[in-house]
Chain A
Amino acid sequence: MNPLSIFTIGIIFIFAFNTNVQGKLQCKAPIVDIPKDWLDMKDPCVKKVQAQVQEELTAAMTYFAMGAHFSKDTINRPGFAQFFFDSATEEREHATKLIHYLLMRGQLTTEVGQLIRDPAPLAEIWPDGITALKNALKLEAHVTRKLVDIAKICEDPGQEGEHWNDYHIVDWIANEYLDEQYKGQRQLAGMISNLGKMIDTNGQLGEFLFDKKLLFGDDFVKDMVTA
């Protein structure tokens, strides 16, 4: 090999090396050895809470669709629409709160993408306001049963979870979720009761008045809960 070739190869090598150094970023932070002793949630319990995220988001999307349905010009029930759009955002917040709980307990470090799987509304049209409210109450009762299941499994996750009672999440589910669920269900039942009586003799007029009360009566819905 003649000296010129060696020189040329050397220049190319230096150039390539320099380009490499200039363009290369140190993107990945180092892995830190963090003790795992504090991670005491058991798998069956974690899986139940993860599944509940999708349940809450399915409820959120169903309420979203109810909001869109009652917003239609030919349906024109802005009070119902507002109530259901607000409920949709509330259900989404419930899902976020469950995610934050799992993160607080050191979960969700891997396979986060499995948590939300394109939730879809359970229906997109409803024949009238009272049917939508009844569906909403059934949906809430379903969500409540799922929450009670979490409490049951987390209290005793079986052999797979070494029968370890996770006091904290059981207490948290009862205080943060079940309390709101039962109050929310009572509120819906009260609304169905009032609207049902109003439309029994005054069908469309009853629904029209109820809708305006939902839209303008600030404490109307809140007052439904006496507990």
Chain B
Amino acid sequence: MKLALLVVPFIFAQAFAVEHCYSEVVGACSPVGGGVENCNAKYGAINEIHKELSNYANLLINKNWQFLLLHTHFSNYEANRPGLTKLYKKYADKLWEDSIKVAKYITKRGGVTDFSYKKVAPAETNIENYELTEIASLGKGLDLWKYVANEVFHVHAEVGRRRETVHDAETLSFLENEFVHDHSEIVRKLSGYTNDLKSLLSNPNDSNLALWFFDNYVAKAAE
């Protein structure tokens, strides 16, 4: 009997936990009526991390503008580097599309995208002056993408904890499938480009021609 006294409330609590929406719907259909606030897509740790995800969507939007401006700089007739122009436009477009993916994901899990929630980013992720040399822009691009990649790791770490209230397997999977693999490819590519250009610019007699050849290569590779 004692065991039954312990078990019955437990079963009742479990049933209640999964039937919030059902109870509200039944209530709404009764003569008294009522709301269905608990009929939502929230489960797992979404309440814990939807702010983090909003911050990430805003971060991606911000980096998309930065790469769009880098693309603009290398597209002016004085800088005139079609390869870097194409590369940075490609990155800007990817960041924009990814920000839409994050916003859609937040709502898929019953959350709300807060466009004004932006954590203060480190100063080195800002660009005061876009009139950068080719190699400086690659260095800056690499830093920006590493920041974007590390911020995913941060959200991943938040939802990867073992405590059930903050663990969220679906968000882990979303971040891994949609972002982390792409990020490692991009970071590797930009690191390679920066080191290539560093070698090519080491001989002052070659540098101007080297920049031209290198940009031509980037244009082909960015297709």
Contacts and interface: CB of A to CB of B under 8 A. Distances in A.
B76 A108 contact: yes
Contact of A113 (B99, B107, B127, B203): B127
A112 B131 contact: yes
Contacts of B130: 112-113
A85 B98 CA distance: 12
A118 interface: yes
Nearest to B96: A92
B172 interface: no
A129 interface: no
Interface in A98-121: 99-100, 103, 106-110, 112-113, 115-116, 118-121
A118 B69 contact: no
B78 to A, nearest CB: 5
A67 interface: yes
A96 interface: yes
Contacts of A148: none
Interface stretch (A71-79, A151-159, A178-186): A71-79
A29 B69 contact: no
Nearest to B109: A73
Interface in B134-162: 134-136
Given A25-B135, A89-B96, A121 B115 contact: yes
Interface in B165-223: 198, 201-204, 207-208, 211
Interface of A is mostly: loop
Interface residues of A, number: 43
A116 B40 contact: no
A20 B140 CA distance: 24
Given A28-B133, A61-B115, A74-B40, A112 B204 contact: no
B124 interface: no
Given A34-B77, A61-B115, A71-B107, 14 more contacts: A25-B201, A26-B201, A27-B134, A27-B135, A27-B201, A32-B78, A73-B110, A74-B110, A99-B68, A99-B72, A103-B72, A112-B131, A113-B130, A120-B116
Interface of B: 39-41, 61-62, 65, 68-69, 72-73, 75-79, 89, 96, 99-100, 103-104, 106-108, 110, 112-116, 127-131, 133-136, 198, 201-204, 207-208, 211
Interface of A: 22, 25-32, 34, 57, 61, 64-65, 67-68, 71-74, 81, 85, 88-89, 92, 96, 99-100, 103, 106-110, 112-113, 115-116, 118-121, 124
